[in-house]
Amino acid sequence: MRKKLFHILALGSVVVSISLLTGGCAKKQVESEPAVSTEKQPVAEVVVDVGENPGTEESITSTPVTPEFGGTISEARTHAPMLPVYFDFDKSNIKEDQVSRIETNGAFLKDNMRAEIIIQGNCDERGTQEYNMALGERRAQSAKKYLTNLGVDAGRIMTISYGEEKPLVHGHDEFVWAQNRRDDFVFSR
């Protein structure tokens, strides 16, 4: 009896397998690509008036610059003659090798009493967005405090943090990250 039941089950499973293999899924109809015309279609002529000086309204700086102070980029996004200040990973204190740079900026600001600046704090891509915004602010505030200790009026200095939002260099290695950990000094007027 067991042997007969086994044979019936085996035969049933073979029949089911064969019916699945032969029936399978319904075949899909393959749609053919529409024929591409080789005839040239008429193209409307587009005329753009760029004026006498195309591109003159575009600026590579994020803030307007008064020609009185130059406004050209010296390094990173810092306006000449000032210099950016670079930071160690996860730090906001002015490094010893960056002191001469911030002192150069301080000397320029003391010699040019009408210059007002924005210190832009930047970070590399590591860390959360919130953490990097806070670190960028600490870096900008650290530079502002250093400048005020040198005798620059704090009312002439604004700070902003861009965190990791405005990288100068794109990539994922120490060289790139070191370029993005900085304060930029830009003229606000």
How large a percentage of the chain has pLDDT more than 70? 62
Task: Assess if residue 152 is contained within a domain.
Answer: yes
At 72 the pLDDT is 81
* Mean pLDDT of all residues in 143-170: 97
Q: What is the CATH number of the domain that holds 146?
A: 3.30.1330.60
Predicted confidence band of residue 185 (pLDDT cuts 50, 70, 90): very high
Task: Assess if residue 127 is contained within a domain.
Answer: yes
Predicted confidence band of residue 154 (pLDDT cuts 50, 70, 90): very high
In total, how many domains does the chain have? 1
At 21 the pLDDT is 52
State the residue range of the domain holding 163.
70-187
At 64 the pLDDT is 45
Task: Assess if residue 63 is contained within a domain.
Answer: no
Task: Assess if residue 95 is contained within a domain.
Answer: yes
Q: Which residue has the higher pLDDT, 71 or 63?
A: 71
At 57 the pLDDT is 39
Q: State the Cα–Cα distance between residues 181 and 120, nearest whole angstrom.
A: 11
At 88 the pLDDT is 97
At 65 the pLDDT is 46
Within 10 A of 85 (CB to CB), how many other CB atoms are there?
27
Task: Assess if residue 51 is contained within a domain.
Answer: no
Q: State the Cα–Cα distance between residues 120 and 167, nearest whole angstrom.
A: 12
Task: Assess if residue 175 is contained within a domain.
Answer: yes
Residue 62 pLDDT > 90, yes or no?
Answer: no
Residue 46 pLDDT > 60, yes or no?
Answer: no
Q: State the Cα–Cα distance between residues 56 and 70, nearest whole angstrom.
A: 17
Task: Assess if residue 52 is contained within a domain.
Answer: no
Q: What is the full DSSP assignment across 34-66?
A: PPPP-SPPP---------SSTTTT--SSSS---
Predicted confidence band of residue 19 (pLDDT cuts 50, 70, 90): low
Residue 143 pLDDT > 80, yes or no?
Answer: yes
φ and ψ of 101, to 5 deg:
-65, -45
- Which residues is 117 bridged to in the sheet? 157, 187
Q: Are 85 and 147 in contact (CB under 8 A)?
A: no
Task: Assess if residue 28 is contained within a domain.
Answer: no
Highest mean pLDDT among 60-64, 75-79, 145-149: 145-149
